[in-house]
């Protein structure tokens, strides 16, 4: 595995591949398992993730990196192989979510600050020992007519920059994820409002990254797409793609190693179609790919259903979404390929 930050970052952005976000914290994975009636235990979480990481077709062809929750980085498969080694053997880079979650921000009703900076230097050294070569930190930005406040934007941007600097010091590529929520409350904002807020957030993030002396060539940005709120969706694929690229070009320096989007509550197919439309447009200063959680896993989770006899079905469902998103990362996805498969 490469040692230089720039080399790790560029391997995460390998053409036609993207990142699997499998870093659900205990509370989130429980919610996901509730949808298939499965109890969340250390073993069931291990079995689910082992099913994904051993999906050779998906992993070797379409996945460049996997974001893990700390528990998973320390876990071994049923046969004793470390889950991180299964990922490495598939040619992908293991990564780790290092934030400890978004907590209410004092004096800012309805807004959060992401925590986890205390002791981070020491934790990063240990994660590096355990094989992690990139990390992720998610700042959450609420959006409505009145939110976000400048205070919440600044606090989250500052924390992201401090996290990113510590990662690079430890030889770990930071994924910087400032997420303007698509599916928060009330979730009825327009695409124009999303553009305005995303632009303000990204400007603040890059100003803080610059002050923290973060090397842009050694980091990956994980932004939301510019899209209208989940309860008011009407923007077309072309509109989402055009507004997102315009917003990113206005705020993200060309030296950033790459951009890997979150899916944020879009349907599987929407997330794929939007990424493909952006990549089909020429003239992008950075590689654009996916770092999806729900949009890569939802179908696989359903097909698996928590049953060992369904492992192959879960892996097929994952391979399909990974393949579709791999095509989107090259701008080559078409709707008829979904049904053909």
Q: Which is nearer to ligand 5MM, 23 or 228 (CB)?
A: 23
Candidate ranges 72-80, 108-116, 226-234, 256-264; the one touching ligand 5MM (CB under 6 A)? 256-264
Q: H helices within 35-149, ranges in order?
A: 42-53, 56-62, 70-73, 83-89, 120-129
Kindly determine how many residues on this chain lie close enough to bind ligand 5MM according to the rule CB under 6 A.
15
Residue from the set 21, 120, 226, 328 that interacts with ligand 5MM by CB under 6 A:
21
By beta-carbon distance, which residue lies closest to ligand 5MM? 293
Q: Are 242 and 191 in contact (CB under 8 A)?
A: no
Site membership for ligand 5MM, residue 135 (CB under 6 A):
no
23 is an interface residue for ligand 5MM by CB under 6 A: yes
Active site residue 211: no
From the candidates 50, 177, 208, 270, give the one annotated as an active-site residue. Answer: 177
Contact 185, 230 (CB under 8 A): no
DSSP codes, 129-171: HTT--EEEEEEEE--SSS-S-HHHHHHHHHHHHHHHHHHHHTT
Please, what is the minimum distance in Å from the beta carbon of residue 249 to ligand 5MM? 22
DSSP states of 268-330: HHHHHHHHHHHHHSS--SS-EEEEESHHHHHHHHHHHTT-GGGHHHHHHHHHHHHHHHHHHHT
Task: Using alpha carbons, select from 226, 280, 286, 222 the residue that is nearest to residue 253.
Answer: 286
| CB of 222 closer than 8 Å to CB of 176 | yes
- Binding region for ligand 5MM (CB under 6 A) out of 127-135, 193-201, 210-218, 261-269: 261-269
> Could you tell me if 121 and 169 are in contact, meaning their C-beta atoms sit under 8 angstroms apart?
yes
CA pair distance 337, 147, nearest whole angstrom? 40
Catalytic residue list contains 234: no
Q: Does 28 bind ligand 5MM (CB under 6 A)?
A: yes
292 binds ligand 5MM (CB under 6 A): yes
Residue span 201-230 as binding mask against ligand 5MM, x where in contact by CB under 6 A, dash where not: ------------------------------
For the CB of residue 29, give the shortest distance to ligand 5MM in the complex, in Å: 7
Q: Which 141-200 residues touch ligand 5MM, going by CB under 6 A?
A: 179
Shortest separation between residue 229's beta carbon and ligand 5MM, angstroms = 14
Which member of 54, 62, 294, 321 binds ligand 5MM (CB under 6 A)? 294
Q: What span, in angstroms and rounded, lies between the C-alpha atoms of 94 and 266? A: 25
Per DSSP, 213 falls in state T
By CB under 6 A, residue 17 contacts ligand 5MM: no
CB of 79 to ligand 5MM, least distance (A): 26
Strand partners, 19: 65, 291
Residue closer to ligand 5MM (CB basis): 208 or 270: 270
CB of 77 to ligand 5MM, least distance (A): 20
Q: What are phi and psi of 238, to 5 degrees?
A: -65, -35
Residue (23 or 208) nearer to ligand 5MM, CB: 23
Nearest Cα residue to 198 out of 227, 219, 176, 160: 227
- Write the interaction track for ligand 5MM spanning residues 263-282; mark x where CB under 6 A is met and - where it is not: xx------------------
Q: Catalog residues that contact ligand 5MM under the rule CB under 6 A.
A: 21, 23-25, 28, 67, 138, 179, 262-264, 292-295
Catalytic machinery residues: 177, 222
């Amino acid at each position: 595995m490469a040692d230089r930050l720039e080399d790790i970052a560029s391997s995460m952005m390998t053409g036609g591949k993207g990142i699997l976000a499998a870093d659900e914290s205990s509370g989130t994975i429980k919610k996901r398992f509730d949808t298939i009636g499965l109890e969340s235990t250390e073993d069931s979480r291990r079995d689910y993730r082992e099913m994904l990481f051993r999906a050779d077709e998906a992993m070797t062809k379409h996945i460049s990196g996997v974001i893990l929750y700390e528990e998973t980085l320390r876990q071994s498969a049923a046969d004793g192989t470390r889950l991180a080694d299964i990922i490495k053997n598939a040619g992908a880079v293991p990564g780790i979510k290092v934030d400890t979650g978004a907590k209410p921000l004092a004096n800012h009703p309805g807004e959060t600050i992401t925590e986890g900076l205390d002791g981070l230097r020491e934790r990063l050294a240990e994660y590096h020992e355990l094989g992690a070569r990139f990390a992720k930190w998610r700042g959450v930005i609420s959006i409505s007519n009145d939110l976000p406040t400048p205070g919440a934007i600044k606090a989250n941007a500052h924390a992201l920059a401090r996290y990113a600097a510590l990662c690079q010091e430890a030889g770990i590529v930071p994924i910087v994820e400032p997420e303007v929520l698509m599916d928060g409350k009330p979730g009825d904002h327009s695409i124009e409002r999303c553009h305005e807020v995303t632009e303000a957030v990204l400007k603040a993030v890059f100003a803080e990254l610059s002050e923290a002396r973060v090397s842009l060539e050694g980091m990956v940005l994980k932004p939301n797409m510019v899209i209208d709120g989940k309860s008011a969706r009407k923007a077309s694929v072309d509109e989402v793609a055009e507004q997102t690229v315009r917003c990113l070009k206005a705020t993200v320096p060309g030296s950033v190693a790459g951009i890997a989007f979150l899916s944020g509550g879009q349907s599987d197919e929407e997330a794929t179609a939007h990424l493909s439309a952006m990549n089909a447009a020429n003239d992008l200063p950075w590689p654009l790919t996916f770092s999806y959680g729900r949009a890569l896993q939802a179908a696989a989770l359903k097909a698996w259903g928590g049953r060992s006899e369904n492992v192959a079905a879960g892996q097929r469902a994952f391979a399909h979404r990974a393949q579709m998103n791999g095509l989107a990362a090259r701008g080559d996805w078409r709707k008829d390929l979904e049904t053909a498969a």
